[in-house]
Amino acid sequence: MRNKVYPNAQAALEGIKDNMTLVVGGFGLCGIPENCIQALKDSGAKGLTCVSNNAGVDDFGLGILLHTRQIKKMISSYVGENPTFEKQFMNQELEVELCPQGTLAERIRAGGAGIPGFYTPTGVGTKVAEGKEVKVFEGREYLLERGIKGDFAFVKAWKGDKFGNLIFRKTARNFNPMAATAGKITVAEVEELVEIGELPPDQIHTPGIFVQRIFKGQNYQKRIEQKTVRKVSILCP
């Protein structure tokens, strides 16, 4: 069996080149592959098309690749937390394809499943529908959406074994499992890397067959985009 374990993100990104399409897991800043994103910045690769739920914030997540102008195009469903993104888009320095969130998830899942396209009613009659084929099924209009595949996919898991079996924790499970299937080469960074056989089989979210490279990540910040707290009143008797 081929060894999938790499010492760090820099080694796991071997083969990254300019103008590649990258599928990046995570939901907001939750479950993003922090080490891989930093390694992408350090690689200097440019002209990248990044497919992700969001574009990070100004100084974290994919936002650091916008600062260095390594991203040519973003395919995302939510980008409202990043002023650098806004500025580059308004100045026509960044190509943007906004996609409804459920449609984006299904496009990634479809690409990973080898499905070239599917029909959905989401977006009919809006700007999302511009330039897309429309068909009527049972009296209702549907848009043709294309599946998405990447040259690389980057995901972050809570636990993984040396074969690449992955377990995601809570919100990190939203986009990471689909993203893991959609790369020609999928790189997984994990908080805990264990031996094969240590993960309970019925708790595995992504089978290792989808993962080509895995490494134990370091120094996770796990930042929150918008932290909301409430005042707690303490009543004394």
Q: Who contacts 226 (Cβ-Cβ below 8 Å, separation ≥6)?
A: 81
Instruction: Please state which of the ranges 4-13, 83-92, 118-127, 215-224 shows the lowest mean pLDDT.
Output: 215-224
Question: Which value, in Å, is the radius of gyration of the alpha carbons in the chain?
Answer: 19
Question: What pLDDT is recorded for position 107?
Answer: 98
Question: What pLDDT is recorded for position 235?
Answer: 64
Could you give the CA distance from residue 22 to residue 156 in angstroms, rounded to a whole number?
Answer: 14
Could you give the CA distance from residue 24 to residue 54 in angstroms, rounded to a whole number?
Answer: 9
Please give the single-letter amino acid code of residue 146.
R
Question: What pLDDT is recorded for position 58?
Answer: 86
Q: Which of 54, 62, 25 is nearest to 169 (CA)?
A: 25
Hey, what domains does the chain have and what are their CATH numbers?
Answer: 9-216 (3.40.1080.10)
For the chain, percent of residues with pLDDT exceeding 70: 97
pLDDT at 141 over 80: yes
Question: What pLDDT is recorded for position 10?
Answer: 97
**What is the mean pLDDT of the segment spanning 119-141?**
96
Could you give the CA distance from residue 71 to residue 95 in angstroms, rounded to a whole number?
Answer: 9
Question: What pLDDT is recorded for position 131?
Answer: 94
Residue 223 confidence class, pLDDT cut points 50, 70, 90: confident
